Structures are given as C-alpha cells and as structure tokens.
Amino acid sequence: MQTILGAGGGAGTEITRELSNYTKDIRVVSRNPQKANETDQLMKADLTDPAQLDKAVEGSEIVYVTIAFPYSIKM
C-alpha cells in the first residue's frame, strides 16, 4: 500500500495519477478525498489528529506527505 497524505491538493493529485502507472494499491487521504484513479482507496481524515493520522498510514509501505502542517501543530 502506498498512501498519499493531503492528496486533495495539486501535488497530491499528480502523485496519485503518476503512481497508478506503477501500482493499483493506493490510499488517498485528505479532508475531502477524491479519486484520481478508479482503483484508489479513499480515506477521510483530519491529519492534525494523531489517532486519525496513525489510522491513515496503517499498513502502508510508503507514505507521501503533501500537506503543510501549521507550525503550531505538535506531532
């Protein structure tokens, strides 16, 4: 499983599209996830919540982080 955190943005969407050339095992995670490829697994999550972040990356071999956390967030 390859997981894209913040997949709703421009960079995340392009990474998701490109990854589909190499794998169909893609998890798309954002506040409002949308498929870039038919086989994408969608997951809605607030990635500033540590429990939701842990669940979002569970079982992933590779995680792409395409979100900008506010400096005030402690992870």
* Stated pTM of the model: 0.85
Q: What is the CATH number of the domain that holds 49?
A: 3.40.50.720
State the Cα–Cα distance between residues 9 and 11, nearest whole angstrom. Answer: 6
In a domain, 70, yes or no: no
In a domain, 17, yes or no: yes
Determine the pLDDT at residue 75. Answer: 62
In a domain, 75, yes or no: no
Determine the pLDDT at residue 33. Answer: 87
Determine the pLDDT at residue 8. Answer: 81
In a domain, 26, yes or no: yes
The answer to whether 63 and 5 are in contact (CB under 8 A) is yes
State the Cα–Cα distance between residues 15 and 1, nearest whole angstrom. Answer: 14
Q: What is the pLDDT of residues 8-58, one digit of tens each?
A: 888 888 999 999 999 999 999 998 888 888 999 999 999 889 999 999 999
* Alpha helix positions (H), 1-75: 10-19, 50-57
13: which DSSP letter?
H
State the Cα–Cα distance between residues 68 and 74, nearest whole angstrom. Answer: 13
Instruction: Give the chain's domain count.
Output: 1
